[in-house]
Structure formats: C-alpha cells, structure tokens
C-alpha cells in the first residue's frame, strides 16, 4: 500500500476524456516505465540511472523511451511529480488523525519523515528536479505539472494551519501569513530529514542518534509559534508513536523490517 507507484494514477487529477485504445496503451506503458525508472533511481541514484538501463529493463527500445520522455532530466521531474502526489496522499491520511490541531500537524511530520525514509532517493529527487540544469532540459509542461503538485501539497498543509486558527490553538502574528507558517514547518522538516538521511557520517548527527530527533525540532518550531498545547504540557512523543502505530502502521512495520 505504501509503496510508491501503487497509487500512480489512481488519483484522478487529470480528467480523462474518451481516449482511444492506443492512447490507453501508451498511458499504461508510461506508468510502467515510471515504475521501472523509479526502481532504478531508488537502487542506484540519479547518477546510476541511465536511459539504456530503462530501455533494457523495460524491454522497449531507446527510441520508444524517448517518445515518452524528452530527456533523462524529464524522467526525474516526472518521478518527482509522482513523489509529490504520493506525499499528498500521506498528508491526507495524516489529516484524518483524531486529535487536536497540533496532534494533527505532528501526524503530518510523521508522514513526511516516513516518506523520507521509505523513499530517500525520491525525497531528494524533489530537490534535484528543481536545480537549473534539470529544469532547463525538461519540458515546460512537466515543470508546470510539478508546480501544481507542489501547490496541492501546500493547500493541504494550509488546512492544518487554518484548523488551528479556527480552534484558537494558534494565533497568526499580525504581519505573518499562513504561507510563512507553512514555510517554517517545511523548512525545518525538509532540513531535518535531508540532514538525517544524507549527513549520516556527520559526528554531530551521529551523537544525537535518536529516532525522535525530527520531533524535537518540530516541537521547537511549534512551541516557537506558540501552537497550543505546548510541548511542555503534552507528550508529543506519545502522539508520534500513536500516529506511527495507527494510520501508518504498515509503513512503520515495513521500515522496522528492513531496518531503516
């Protein structure tokens, strides 16, 4: 269920008009290729991913691959797009968590943390796909799609903030927007996860070695926003564990199993 790709295209966002059989077949293969590409990238990184590997792994010729993707970079942007959609699904699940507004936002961060551990390479793909030389070699259409996928994510995140304001757990500073609050959460979450996943040989990070280190950072940020109830008045470790064991039980079990 949690495997990226299983949900490719089972959301709907593009309205599908009556497509010919042929077009359906092409769309089907597009998904197939994406899945294979994702496996290669996950296993060998963007560096180890080649169009020849994708061709031979899929059984199609290089020309056909290039009918689907404008370039190697175009593949990564498409993959990143799918990654964002997967993340959106997880965010929606997090929103379902029963609890106060701050509990829910903790659930959001659990979702992000789990995603970054399940798919560390895809997690970084989202950033890679924004670097200038990837953007340049990709199609404008795909870049636009990626922006839309990201905006959708922001929309979901917005709900968490608005709910908190509604419930009077959070008061927006006079000068601040919900975007500013989303950005703060995004920055600390992205930074924490990126560093934990990539800077593993850093002494500083090795010394911490605590499964809840993302939570600590999140607590600091939410306390700094004065998002009620403060971490001094509620045990968010327990909330974190509960989220892991309920709505993301499958993913958590899988991660434990593969020891990551």
Residue 75 or residue 94: which is nearer to DNA going by CB?
A: 75
Q: How far is the CB of 24 from DNA (least distance, A)?
A: 10
Binding residue (CB under 8 A) for a copy of itself from 39, 213, 241, 255: 213
Instruction: Count CB-CB contacts under 10 A for residue 248.
Output: 24
Cβ-based neighbours of 40, under 8 Å, separated by 6 or more: 48, 49, 53, 54, 57
* Neighbour-count burial for 53-90, b at 16+ CB within 10 Å, e otherwise: ebbeebebeeeebeebbbebbbbbbbbbbbbbbbbbbb
Told to check if 124 binds a copy of itself by CB under 8 A, we report: yes
Told to check if 187 binds a copy of itself by CB under 8 A, we report: yes
- Give the helix/strand (H/E) hosting 230: none
Told to check if 147 binds a copy of itself by CB under 8 A, we report: yes
Told to check if 219 binds a copy of itself by CB under 8 A, we report: yes
Binding residue (CB under 8 A) for a copy of itself from 14, 52, 174, 207: 207
- Give the helix/strand (H/E) hosting 15: none
Going by C-alpha positions, the residue among 90, 97, 93 that lies closest to residue 236 is 97
Would you give the distance in Å from CA 251 to the centre of its chain?
A: 14
Residue 191 or residue 250: which is nearer to a copy of itself going by CB?
A: 191
Told to check if 50 binds a copy of itself by CB under 8 A, we report: no
Told to check if 205 binds a copy of itself by CB under 8 A, we report: yes
Output DSSP code: residue 2: -
Told to check if 39 binds DNA by CB under 7 A, we report: no
Q: How far is the CB of 63 from a copy of itself (least distance, A)?
A: 24
What is the contact mask toward DNA in residues 55 to 94, using x (rule: CB under 7 A)? -----xxxxx-xx---xxx---------------------
Binding residue (CB under 7 A) for DNA from 1, 15, 21, 132: 21
């Amino acid at each position: 269920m949690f495997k990226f790709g299983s949900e490719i295209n089972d959301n709907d966002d593009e309205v599908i008009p009556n497509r010919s059989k042929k077009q359906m077949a092409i769309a089907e293969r597009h998904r197939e290729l994406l899945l294979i590409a994702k496996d290669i990238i996950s296993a060998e990184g963007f560096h180890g991913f080649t169009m020849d590997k994708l061709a031979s792994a899929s059984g199609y010729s290089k020309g056909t691959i290039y009918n689907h993707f404008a370039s190697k970079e175009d593949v990564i942007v498409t993959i990143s797009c799918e990654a964002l959609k997967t993340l959106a699904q997880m965010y929606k699940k997090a929103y379902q968590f029963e609890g106060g507004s701050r509990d829910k936002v903790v659930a959001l961060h659990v979702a992000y943390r789990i995603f970054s551990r399940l798919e560390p390479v895809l997690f970084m793909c989202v950033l890679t796909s924004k670097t200038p030389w990837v953007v340049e070699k990709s199609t404008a259409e795909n870049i636009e799609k990626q922006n839309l996928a990201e905006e959708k994510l922001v929309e979901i995140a917005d709900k968490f903030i608005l709910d908190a304001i509604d419930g009077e757990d959070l008061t927006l500073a006079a000068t601040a927007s919900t975007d500013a609050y989303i950005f703060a959460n995004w920055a600390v979450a992205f930074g924490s996860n990126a560093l934990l996943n990539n800077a593993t040989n850093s002494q500083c990070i090795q010394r911490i070695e605590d499964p809840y280190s993302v939570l600590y950072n999140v607590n600091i940020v939410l306390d700094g926003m004065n998002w009620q109830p403060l971490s001094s008045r509620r045990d968010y470790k327990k909330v974190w564990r509960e989220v892991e064991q309920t709505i993301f039980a499958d993913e958590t079990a899988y991660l434990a199993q593969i020891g990551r």
